[in-house]
Structure 1
Amino acid sequence: MYYINGEWYESDQKEQVKNPATLEVIDTISLCGKEETKQAIEAAKEAFQTWGKTTGNERSAYLFEVVRLMKERIEELAQIITLENGKPLPDAKREVLGAISYLDWYAEEAKRIYGDVLPSSHKDKQLMVIRQPVGVCGAITPWNFPLSMITRKIAPALAAGCTVVLKPALETPLSAIKVFECFHEAKVPKGVVNLVIGPAEEIGKELTSSPDVRKLTFTGSTAIGKKLMRDSADTMKKVSMELGGHAPYIVFEDADLDLAVEGVLLSKFKNSGQTCISTNRVYVQESIADEFAQKLAEQASKLKIGDGLEKGTDVGPLINEKSLEKMKSQVEDAVKHDAKVVHGGNVYKYEKGNGYFFEPTVLLHATDDMQIATEETFGPIAPVFTFKDEDEVVERANHKTYGLAAYCYTKNLGRGMRMMKELEFGIIGINDPAPIVIQAPFGGIKESGMGKEGGKYGLEEYLEEKFVSIYEN
């Protein structure tokens, strides 16, 4: 199903949604395309004429009602995430709670859109800046967090007074349908939120080419982000892009080793490593590298692999066969370059299905000439590199292309402060493998994106400033 102007529709064009753990068909959905996307944009444009003029309190009330409805469906929403994405059910529940939290946060922020009164340089003028919603927003979300990525974009857009046309990933459309059911039940006015499910290129082209879409927000690969930016240039849209990452994870010899190992387990193997801020390169000081790798391998060996619906599962499947082949390729390349497989390194044969499982993998003696040193892994492989000193690791950690997240473990306060300044990334975790919170800005620098999501910063992406000068005469 897809959702346009407050109505659900079906089409003759169908797509199967499969569980990546078992390859069983979960559901069959209707797809739409170019014409339906045009209708959705038109509906959003018409709705903006009213929604953009509502008060913050009115918009807040609608968002709070969606929060209430989603809280009643936490178990159902988590089950859907696990079925179509594969992540363990406890992780899916945390995602649902995070998704709800974004709606809850921006329900409050809707009432706090302020302007400015400027000091005048002329005695007979009053100067001010007002902030108004951008207009119709196109949103394109990924499969790795199929629910929270939707609310992280829709919540600030609606709070600001914008209307939305959203396209979710084809791998995980069911989560989007469920959250839009909540918007529908909350009686959000027709056309304010619209859901289009179909071919990425066809729908994306309509969103980028339409002059009625004034803002585009996207989470996904850097290559696709660049294409969307190029396609949006003709209409000079406002864009925010949360793109690829290649996070370094630096462990100095003075660090709490057990804490650092625990951090890698969380950052690298949660969601099977399919997270844009997931650790990609583990840099460990030479004197502790062997001990660290052994400790990490020991802990990785305890992780249970399996269907996310099974109790106790720590690591679920990858999303598809292409991802599985990439894991195999990166390990094979690393071994050719003399890396040592300390643990894992193989496709995992799941006894209850034919899903896309790969063993949590620890590699030692990783070097900068390996594929894994430059290609975003997006899977459960932790390559351990070694370094001699602070200057060396900073130079190697600062990726020439990516700049999303970085992590550093040390007990030295001065070193932690220096690393905070020297690492060229939008998000820094010092002794913290999970630095993401709703009230903080989320986003990268360099080719990892532009614009921020979260907190007051995420709201600003959906507003534009208008300067007003009043001559008193």
Structure 2
Amino acid sequence: MNDMTMTAAVAHPLPKAPFEGRHLIDGIWQGSADGATFDRISPSHGVVVSRSARGGTAETEAAIAATRRAFDDGKWSRATGKERSTLLLKVADLIEANVERMALLETLESGKPISQARGEVAGAADLWRYAAALARTLHGDSHNSLGEDMLAVVLKEPIGVVSIITPWNFPFWILSQKLPFALAAGCTCVIKPSEMTPSTTVMLGELLIEAGLPAGVVNIVLGFGQPVGALMAEHPHVDMVSFTGSTAVGKAISAAASKTLKKVALELGGKNPQVIFPDADLDAAADAITFGVYFNAGECCNSGSRIIVHEDIAEALVEKVVALSRKVAFGDPLNPETQVGAIISPAHQQKIGAYVRDAVASGAKLALGGEAVHHPGLPGDFFSPTVVTNISPDMPIAREEVFGPVLAVLTFKTLEEAISLVNDASYGLSAGVWSENVHTCLAFARRAEAGTVWTNTWMDGFPEVAFGGFKQSGQGRENGRYGLDEFLEIKSVVMRIGKTRPNWVATDFRND
């Protein structure tokens, strides 16, 4: 407790009753046929915050069938870009009008600070607006240089029915990196949110209906990976799966989808390094490192969970990061001053602690923290800000995704050694470099095996800029025009104009 700043619990009125979540199938809200439900207990406040219908095979089959019918009848897939764009803009406006109630529920289900939940929901509206712009500007290509009697056009058409499976750490933001782009392309979608954070997806379904989206274009099934997620991944009437989550589950989805060779887009794990050179602005780097590892309690695929710092400045930088870490406000997620909230579950908290204990047993040093913390005014699960030094590159804490507020510190001597440490990983989601020398930054950016490279900053993102990973961090891209392209098929149309096609078989011959 002496190593951290803890914010007080606040007297925020909790919901009088759990949020009731139901499936959305063909425009109708409904419970499960067998009446099954599941509860979500808030990881910070220990109360039942939502009660959701628990979907099974019957609900999943019905949702996929509705999604297929909606695509095939063309009410959305053949709508104009203007029509799609207009609806997406309406949804963006409705999201902004509902930020408070959505953010409260997301905070209670996930344990993240209310200020960050507000930012996530409000910021997602910008993704919908950007996708709306793409819907209006979507176009193919033409080839007018194939000869005077030939013309070819390349069409971009919606891929079809898309299964969208989202995680618990940024449930609304990650859904908004997928769904509006799929809708802009003309796809129809069936969605399964995480069973730990289902409610903002249900709320979005309400907004889609209010905005006038035709029935069946978006369907929502609540439940667990088995059977809902598995069936969404392997079903023959699904043309594509877009998944964000762990690398292990991503591999299972790829295997299931391979039975029908459907397209798969995956945004998976990361063990993201920041490399700090001696000429870096250490104060700016230390603040960004602190933000990168504690934002969303480190439960973030882009978490800057390892730093690779030049040995000449390692001690000074670690001292700055430890000092800043002690000032980061951990505590009640409903307190607007809180910067780091509760861990998603007791099981995940134990997993975080196990990584730290294993590292220390292998010779690593604890510069700060390293243990679970009990809040004096809340029953939830918290983990202290943790900085681990004296780490060797082969330790699990240096190579695997801890997904918690734990920073692993490694050192290097040369640029070549730093690049080697960065790329000696199964992941390749993001990386960062800190140096005042533009040549150093550019050399690093070109050689780092990562989908995003930040220079002298961390985790700045924009709807216009593509996001996704190398290696086992996934395949495909979200956001930007590339994010729209993921949901499109390419069709070439080749036309002969005017002249008759030359015969292949001769017709002018004599009967001898």
Same-fold call, TM cutoff 0.5: yes
Query: TM-score by structure 1 length?
Result: 0.98
The 1-side partners of 2:89 and 2:48 are apart by: 34
Look up the match of 1:36.
59
Look up the match of 2:330.
305
The 2-side partners of 1:343 and 1:400 are apart by: 25
- Report if the CA contact (8 A) 2:297-2:341 is conserved: yes
Letter paired with 2:308: Y
Look up the match of 2:212.
187
Cα RMSD between the aligned structures? Answer: 1.1
Look up the match of 1:14.
37
- Helix, strand or coil for the counterpart of 2:228? helix
Look up the match of 1:215.
240
The 1-side partners of 2:230 and 2:96 are apart by: 35
Q: 1:270 aligns with which of 292, 295, 316?
A: 295
The 1-side partners of 2:196 and 2:332 are apart by: 17
The 2-side partners of 1:206 and 1:432 are apart by: 41
- Report if the CA contact (8 A) 1:120-1:127 is conserved: no
The 2-side partners of 1:52 and 1:333 are apart by: 52
Look up the match of 1:357.
382
Look up the match of 1:412.
437
Alignment of 1:450 with 2:475, yes or no, is: yes
Q: 1:147 aligns with which of 156, 164, 172?
A: 172
The 1-side partners of 2:422 and 2:324 are apart by: 25
The 2-side partners of 1:271 and 1:450 are apart by: 24
- Helix, strand or coil for the counterpart of 1:305? strand
The 2-side partners of 1:323 and 1:268 are apart by: 16
Alignment of 1:259 with 2:280, yes or no, is: no
- Helix, strand or coil for the counterpart of 1:317? coil
Query: TM-score by structure 2 length?
Result: 0.91
Look up the match of 1:233.
258
Alignment of 1:52 with 2:77, yes or no, is: yes
Q: CA deviation at 1:9?
A: 0.6
- Helix, strand or coil for the counterpart of 1:147? helix
Look up the match of 1:377.
402
The 2-side partners of 1:370 and 1:326 are apart by: 15
Equivalent residue runs for 1:77-116 within 5 Å: 77-116=102-141
Q: CA deviation at 1:122?
A: 3.5
Look up the match of 1:160.
185
The 2-side partners of 1:149 and 1:199 are apart by: 18
Alignment deviations for residues 39-98 of structure 1 (CA, whole Å, 9 cap, x no partner): 111111111122111101111111111112111111111111111111111111110122
- Helix, strand or coil for the counterpart of 1:279? coil
The 1-side partners of 2:380 and 2:324 are apart by: 24
The 2-side partners of 1:407 and 1:271 are apart by: 19
Unaligned 5+ runs, structure 2: 1-21, 500-512
The 2-side partners of 1:270 and 1:199 are apart by: 27
- Helix, strand or coil for the counterpart of 2:50? strand
The 1-side partners of 2:225 and 2:210 are apart by: 27
Q: CA deviation at 1:235?
A: 1.1
The 2-side partners of 1:433 and 1:27 are apart by: 34
Q: CA deviation at 1:460?
A: 0.4
Look up the match of 1:366.
391
Alignment of 1:176 with 2:198, yes or no, is: no
The 2-side partners of 1:62 and 1:236 are apart by: 32
Q: CA deviation at 1:333?
A: 1.4
Alignment deviations for residues 298-340 of structure 1 (CA, whole Å, 9 cap, x no partner): 1101112112101311111111122111121111112112222
- Helix, strand or coil for the counterpart of 2:239? strand
Alignment deviations for residues 163-195 of structure 1 (CA, whole Å, 9 cap, x no partner): 000000000001111111111111210000000
Percent identity, please: 37
Q: CA deviation at 1:441?
A: 0.5
The 1-side partners of 2:459 and 2:233 are apart by: 33
Look up the match of 2:15.
none
The 1-side partners of 2:262 and 2:126 are apart by: 28
Q: Structure 1 residues 399 and 436 mapped into 2: Cα distance closer, same or farther (>3 Å)?
A: farther
Letter paired with 1:13: A
The 2-side partners of 1:209 and 1:251 are apart by: 44
Q: CA deviation at 1:120?
A: 3.5
Q: CA deviation at 1:369?
A: 2.7
Q: Which has the larger radius of gyration?
A: 2
Look up the match of 2:98.
73
Unaligned 5+ runs, structure 1: none
Q: Structure 1 residues 117 and 123 mapped into 2: Cα distance closer, same or farther (>3 Å)?
A: same
- Helix, strand or coil for the counterpart of 2:372? coil
Look up the match of 2:4.
none
Alignment deviations for residues 398-435 of structure 1 (CA, whole Å, 9 cap, x no partner): 13311100011111111001000111101100111123
- Report if the CA contact (8 A) 1:246-1:399 is conserved: no
State the aligned residue count: 473
- Helix, strand or coil for the counterpart of 1:393? helix
- Helix, strand or coil for the counterpart of 2:136? coil
The 1-side partners of 2:164 and 2:407 are apart by: 32
Alignment of 1:426 with 2:447, yes or no, is: no
Look up the match of 1:25.
48
Letter paired with 2:248: A
Please, which moves more after superposition, 443-452 or 307-316? 307-316
- Report if the CA contact (8 A) 2:45-2:108 is conserved: no
- Report if the CA contact (8 A) 1:340-1:364 is conserved: yes
Letter paired with 2:38: E
Please, which moves more after superposition, 148-157 or 21-30? 21-30
Letter paired with 2:343: L
The 1-side partners of 2:237 and 2:24 are apart by: 19
